Amino acid sequence: MASLIGRDLLSLADLSASELQQLLELASQLKSKQLQVQCNKVLGLLFSKASTRTRVSFTVAMYQLGGQVIDLHPNVTQVSRGEPIEDTARVLDRYLDVLAIRTFAQQELETFAKYAKIPVINALTDLEHPCQILADLLTIQEKFGSLSGLTLTYVGDGNNVANSLMLGCALVGMNVRVAFPSGYAPDAEIVEKARAIANIHQTQVLLTHDPEIAAKDANVLYTDVWASMGQETEANNRFPVFQPYQISAQLLSFADPEAIVLHCLPAHRGEEITHEVIEGSQSRVWDQAENRLHAQKALLVSILGGE
């Protein structure tokens, strides 16, 4: 069993390659019920952004482990009235066993982690979305049996999902390609970090503006919305810029014939992905969504311990 007892997960880069592989194996065992674990702890959810999959999957995961969940929506806590993060973190530390935070700035997450002694989990920031990638890698592993040597192509905005995908794929020995319009590149520091990890495994992190080159013979095609939470006002301006980066049947034809299609959801059919593709035989989007539950359950068990 992977053991990350007492550790924070602020970035996928917080994990070693072996720790990530152990998490995926544990998630697989929990999903198949080969392993039964109880974890009678209390999880706090402090979400400043809307959430369906992350909120529900973390909640169900903790309940299935025998624990409890407290939803600490900022609007019903003193956070919304300006209480300093440092103060909130030190108070919640006295009540909870683990805290999952969904917010805008990565720095806010890091401040919570600095002042709270309990483990802090990144449930999404503008910079990274590590829990999503745990589910993505589990889904890919279920399809192909192993991850090493596969190629994942991400098409669209170089956002938090793209950033974490680069790190996650590099850690498990996958090639990763990111195709994006000019001006919408992934975070430069994360690109550099992912390439350093990829060099160890002799794999590639490729950035390009050409989606067809990126999709060529890929095992996985992946996309996300063109305007993330907090960018809604930019959506109309982004649409024409991103149109060539849509995952359509035509783009999918460039990938390996056995390729699968992933989307972290929510999806805007007709924008970043067509209805035909997301509902098609190569889509694994619903397995991917289910795997949020199993991957996060494994993460909670690893961080908190179980019996």
Catalytic residue numbers read: 102, 129, 132, 224, 264, 292
DSSP E strands, the chain: 42-47, 68-71, 98-102, 120-122, 151-155, 175-179, 205-208, 220-223, 260-263
List C-alpha distances in Å: 102 to 51, 66, 75, 126, 283. 9, 23, 14, 9, 27
Asked whether the beta carbons of 237 and 266 are under 8 A apart, the reply is: no
Cα distance between residue 112 and residue 130, in whole Å: 17
Tokens of 34: 């080969």
- Pair of tokens at residue 129: 């979305």
Bridge partners, residue 206, by sequence: 177
CA distance 278 to 86: 43
Token pair, residue 219, equals 């095992």
